[in-house]
Amino acid sequence: MENQPDIAARAHAFLFSEGGEVSYRKLATLLECKEAELKAALDELSKRLEGSGVSPIRTETAVSLATSKETSEVVRAAHKKELERDIGDAGLEVLAIVLYMGPSTRTRIDYIRGVNTSSTLRNLLARGLLERTENPEDAREYLYRPTVELLAYLGVKDTRELPDYATIVPELATFEQQSEPFQTNDGSRTDT
């Protein structure tokens, strides 16, 4: 059997990087171990994380990192306070990019806005205005899309019904074509 703490540490890293639920099968594959070894490592991880504010939450088929029961109420209250605030100009800009340009990576959104949008995206996801899906072209990045709820709130069935859509989309495409190539997360350069 492989070194248990090593599997626990790597499982912790994968769970943190995934940011959501991961099936035991997928996690065992990523860690190159058997599911029984993984479950023992997750028991070890639970012990190591006691009192840290986070804990592994397990179902019969999957595991995720979440706030511990000791800290969940404080985190919930902070999120509630955050969600009561206006989304602000940053949120509106990100929504406009995703609505008018279609599904976009965080790298693309950051490039267009010229600033890091991590917290803004997290806020919009928490409010149910955007959804995050896997990027079929690059498994290391996600695509952000408008939710059905956002479109319903805006009173449109399709993004093409947005105000000035036919004018804004070509202008944004021209902006991207004329701008300098930007660097992606993997260090490569791209023109989109």
pLDDT over 70 for what percent of the chain?
88
Average pLDDT of the segment spanning 6-31: 89
CA dist., res. 123 & res. 91, Å (int)? 8
Confidence at 55, pLDDT banded by 50, 70, 90: confident
Q: What is the pLDDT of residue 124?
A: 93
Average pLDDT of the segment spanning 147-161: 87
Lowest mean pLDDT among 112-126, 149-163, 169-183: 169-183
Q: What is the pLDDT of residue 112?
A: 87
Q: Count structural domains, the chain.
A: 2
Question: Which residues form the domain of 28?
Answer: 4-67
- pLDDT for 79-124, tens place per residue? 677 656 778 899 999 999 999 999 999 999 998 888 999 989 988 9
Q: Which parts of the chain fold into alpha helices (H)?
A: 4-18, 24-31, 35-49, 72-84, 88-101, 106-113, 118-126, 148-154, 165-178
Whole-angstrom CA distances from 148 to 54, 121, 129, 142, 153 are 31, 17, 8, 18, 9
Q: Does the residue 75 lie in any domain?
A: no
> Could you tell me the CATH number of the domain that includes residue 108?
1.10.10.10
Q: Does the residue 190 lie in any domain?
A: no
CA dist., res. 143 & res. 163, Å (int)? 23
pLDDT at 191 over 50: no
Q: Does the residue 95 lie in any domain?
A: yes
Average pLDDT of the segment spanning 8-23: 88
CA dist., res. 148 & res. 139, Å (int)? 24
Q: Which residue is listed with tokens 């267009």?
A: 112
Q: What is the pLDDT of residue 13?
A: 92
Q: Does the residue 72 lie in any domain?
A: no
Residues 138 and 175 in one domain: yes
